[in-house]
Amino acid sequence: MSDGHEPDGVRRALDVLVFAPLGVALTVVEDLPGFVAKGHQRVEADIRNARAVGQFVVTIGRRAITRRVGGILQAPPPPSAPAPSGGPTAVVPRAPSRPDPDPADGTLVEQALAGYDTLSAAQVVRRLESLGSDELRAVHRYEASHRHRRTILNRANQLLDGV
């Protein structure tokens, strides 16, 4: 080792600890604008893709909501109207007309049956027999103008017919 050459261990240590980090630092400094441009391109491409997917999902969702809400809001054709397919006229059952809600009925019903709007039809039907005729009429009108549950309406009618 007196020939002026460094031992292999020292040379490796210098390579790993000094020259490799220095080479990486110089390469990064030289190529930094390229790395920045590449990063911008990648992020912008990801954002474009995310926007396209988002717009697609919103469009599909809007169509589904429009179809569902449109079906609810559209009144059925009158029974005398011809079927759209040109075939025989389809019989469309008419929905019973609902009376306009009366706030007085809501108050009377809430007094007679606390928490009425949270009760199931079975719970309401069980309690109807304990009501007087005015309360039964109020329950009938309130139910007819709100949820229109047939079991409640039918039982209230039965009890009112017996009065």
- Residue 94's pLDDT is 57
pLDDT, mean over the chain = 81
Report which DSSP code applies to 1: -
Which has more confidence, 4 or 54? 54
Averaged over 71-90, what is the pLDDT? 55
pLDDT for residue 5 is more than 80: no
Percent of the chain topping pLDDT 90: 24
Alpha carbon separation from 85 to 47, 89, 92, 153 (Å, rounded): 46, 9, 15, 36
User: Which range, 32-36, 75-79, 94-98, is most confident?
Assistant: 32-36
Residues 6+ apart with CB under 8 A from 128: 136, 139, 152, 155, 156, 159
Confidence category of residue 2, pLDDT binned at 50, 70, 90: very low
For residues 107 and 70, the answer to whether their CB atoms sit within 8 Å is no
Model confidence pLDDT, tens digit, residues 121-131: 999 999 999 99
The pLDDT value given to residue 1:
45
* Rounded Cα gap, residues 113 and 119, in angstroms: 9
pLDDT at residue 95 in the model: 55
Who wins on pLDDT, 97 or 88? 97
Are the C-beta atoms of residues 116 and 109 closer than 8 Å to each other?
yes
Residue 129: both structure tokens together: 């027999």
Mean pLDDT across 22-28: 87
pTM for this predicted structure: 0.41
